[in-house]
Amino acid sequence: MVKINNNYLKLQGSYLFSTIGKKVNAFIVENPDKKVIRLGIGDVTRPLTPTITKALHDAVDEMGKAETFRGYAPDLGYDFLRKAIADNDYKLRGCDIQADEIFVSDGAKCDSGNIQEIFAQDNRIAVCDPVYPVYVDSNIMAGRGGTYSEKTEGFTDIIYMPCLSENDFAPQIPEEVPDIIYLCFPNNPTGAVIGKDELQKWVDYANEKGSVIIYDAAYEAYIRTEGVPHSIYECKGAKTCAIELHSFSKNAGFTGVRLGYTVVPKELKRDGVSLHSLWARRHSTKYNGAPYIVQRAGEAVYSQEGKKEIAGLVDYYMRNAEYILNGLRGAGYTVSGGVDAPYIWLKTPKGMTSWEFFDHLLNTANVVGTPGSGFGPHGEGYFRLTAFGSYENTVEAVDRIKVV
Ligand code: MLT
């Protein structure tokens, strides 16, 4: 008889955002007259910009004509997009990343869950705590979690790096040496960033110990502060220890379009094996390439007009972030993030747990956020709000929160 992957049974509850979605839907069914404002999942609300919409239309037209129709996309991505990424996201920043080190995909979520497949099962992973749940869950599914401990509310084989207000929500190098280190800056969920010197320490550490850093740069477009790195490849030596994940979701509004990419430098080797070759093998075996029309839309993101429009989207959401930060701070909340990131991390008031505050806000202000504890044990007592709502809804939500 078939045997299932028992590791799945170790997962705690359902995926965080599915749990929240179910709770909110139940509330709406019971309270059909209430206007619920969702500042929970980091899903964008602004429409695609004109340059991107045009690129999509044009590509659809090409697909509708025999002369310009395209079948399967190249599995690692079209050259036009890989080159646009290399030129704009790397060369312009002084990073030496070549087009053929870029693997185009349907989004950073899939890549962040899949990348662990090229590593052996007995690697130890280290994650920030709190953390984007996909890194942890995908490793548990692969058998790298050990057992769940009720006492620590964590997995025995995972190294958790607490990110607390005392350390500005930045992880410290752990005592035990991890094989794989997940870092995400600007951070989801705390909205924290680290400077280049700090990131350089991680790069040096990983090179010294032979670890690999999986660096999630999904929110880099939100960086405003000078000196905060947009890419780990701004650090010396990162090409021999780091893989970088990128998304088009948060900068260009592609959450429903789906496009992302992963950089695996050719110099990155472990056990004498090129991780670039392994990921290329995995990608070409399991993936048929992001759709042509979507990759053309991705290319448009890097056009002059596209860049201006994207900057406008980011500005729009950052105005929301500022409103949330100032509004809640003025109302006496302890808040952080929201300066170089679209997430605001707030301390729950009156000692409420994260889920108690979730219920309280939903019931009294009809506002949805994300409980910090859903991101890990050190997220307990915190709550995340996203700046990805409409400005009007954001203002209304903050004004409601202030008076409950
Ligand atoms: C989040 O809310 O943390 C993100 O939207 C999740 C994601 O990007 O998959």
State pLDDT tens for residues 68-95.
999 999 999 999 999 999 999 999 999 9
Indicate if ligand 1 lies below 6 Å from the C-beta of 109. Answer: yes
Q: Tell me, what amino acid is at 195?
A: G
230 and 322 inside one domain = no
112 pocket-lining for ligand 1 (C-beta < 6 Å):
no
Answer positive or negative: Cα dihedral of 109, 114, 120, 121: positive
- Establish if 1 belongs to a structural domain: no
Please give the distance, rounded to the nearest whole angstrom, from the Cα atom of residue 63 to the centre of ligand 1: 31
User: What pLDDT does residue 16 have?
Assistant: 87
Distance (Å) from CA 288 to ligand 1 centroid: 24
Q: Does pLDDT of 15 surpass 90? A: no
Q: Compute the residue count for the chain.
A: 404
Quick one: which atom of ligand 1 is closest to the CA of 255?
8
Task: Quick: pLDDT tens for 115-133.
Answer: 999 999 999 999 999 999 9
Instruction: Verify whether ligand 1 is closer than 6 Å to residue 379 (CB atom).
Output: no
Instruction: Say yes or no: CB of residue 38 within 6 Å of ligand 1.
Output: no
Verify that 293 and 312 share a domain, yes or no: no
374 lines ligand 1 (CB under 6 A): no
pLDDT at 349: 96
Read off the pLDDT of each residue in 47-60 and give the average, rounded to a whole number.
98
**Looking at 8-17, 157-166, 208-217, 294-303, which range is the least confident one?**
8-17
Domain shared by 219 and 231, yes or no:
yes
Question: How many Å lie between the centroid of ligand 1 and the Cα of residue 192?
Answer: 16
Contact 368, 20 (CB under 8 A): yes
Measured in angstroms, how far is the CA atom of residue 200 from the centroid of ligand 1? 26
Contacts of residue 271, Cβ cutoff 8 Å, sequence gap at least 6: none
Q: Which residues pair with residue 127 across a beta bridge? A: 160
Residue 233's contacts (CB-CB under 8 Å, 6 or more residues apart) are: 90, 95, 96, 97, 239, 242, 244, 263, 265
Regarding whether 114 and 186 lie in a shared domain, the answer is yes
Nearest residue (by CA) to ligand 1, atom 3, is 42
pLDDT band per the 50, 70, 90 thresholds, residue 225: very high
Pair 12, 72 in one domain: no
- Alpha carbons within 13 A on the beta-carbon side of 123: 23
Domain stop point among 304, 339, 354: 304
Domain that holds residue 387: 6-47+306-402
Q: Are residues 146 and 292 in the same domain?
A: yes
Distance 41 CA to ligand 1 centre (A): 6
Q: Does 293 share its domain with 322?
A: no
Bridge partners of 80, per DSSP, are none
> Euclidean distance between the first and final Cα of the chain, in Å?
56
Q: Is the CB of 188 under 6 A from ligand 1?
A: yes
- Residue spans of beta strands (DSSP E) within 185-255: 212-216, 242-247
Ligand 1 center–CA 134 separation, angstroms? 9
> pLDDT over 90 for what percent of the chain?
98
Question: Which protein residue's CA is at the shortest distance from atom 5 of ligand 1?
Answer: 42
Instruction: Return d(Cα 103, Cα 265) in angstroms, integer.
Output: 10
Instruction: Specify whether 246 is located in the same domain as 286.
Output: yes
The phi, psi pair for 31, rounded to 5°, reads -130, 65
pLDDT at 10 over 90: yes
The C-alpha atoms of residue 60 and residue 294 are separated, in whole angstroms, by 10
At 13 the pLDDT is 80
CB 41 near ligand 1, within 6 Å: yes
CA distance 133 to 116: 14
Closest ligand 1 atom to Cα of 134? 9
Asked whether 245 and 214 are in contact (CB, 8 A), the reply is yes
Whether residues 151 and 284 fall in one domain? yes
Query: Is residue 124 located within the same domain as residue 70?
Result: yes
Query: pLDDT (tens digit, 9 = 90+) per residue, 261-315?
Result: 999 999 999 999 999 999 999 999 999 999 999 999 999 999 999 999 999 999 9
Mean pLDDT (the chain, rounded): 97
- Do residues 282 and 310 both lie within one domain? no
Asked if residue 321 and residue 239 are part of one domain, the reply reads no
Question: How many domains does one find in the chain?
Answer: 2
Task: Return the percent helix, strand and coil in the chain, to nearest 5.
Answer: 45, 15, 40
Pocket residue to mutate for ligand 1, from 132, 245, 368, 375, most atoms within 8 A of Cβ = 132
Task: Quickly state the pLDDT bin for 334 (edges 50, 70, 90).
Answer: very high
State the closest ligand 1 atom to the C-alpha of 132, by its place in the atom list counted from 1. Answer: 3
| C-beta contacts of 198-202 below 8 A and 24+ residues apart | 198/170, 199/229, 199/232, 199/234, 199/235, 200/235, 200/236, 201/173, 202/173
DSSP assignment, residue 269? E
Is residue 229, in this structure, part of any structural domain at all?
Answer: yes
Residue 177 lies in a domain: yes
Rounded Cα distance, 213 and 230, in Å: 15
CA–CA separation, 279 vs 303, rounded Å? 29
Query: How confident is the model over 160-191, as pLDDT tens digits?
Result: 999 999 999 999 999 999 999 999 999 999 99
Q: How far is the CA of 189 from the centre of ligand 1 (A)?
A: 9
In the chain, the percentage of residues whose pLDDT exceeds 70 is 100
From the CA of 189, give the closest atom in ligand 1: 3
Decide if 222 contacts 186 (C-beta within 8 A).
yes
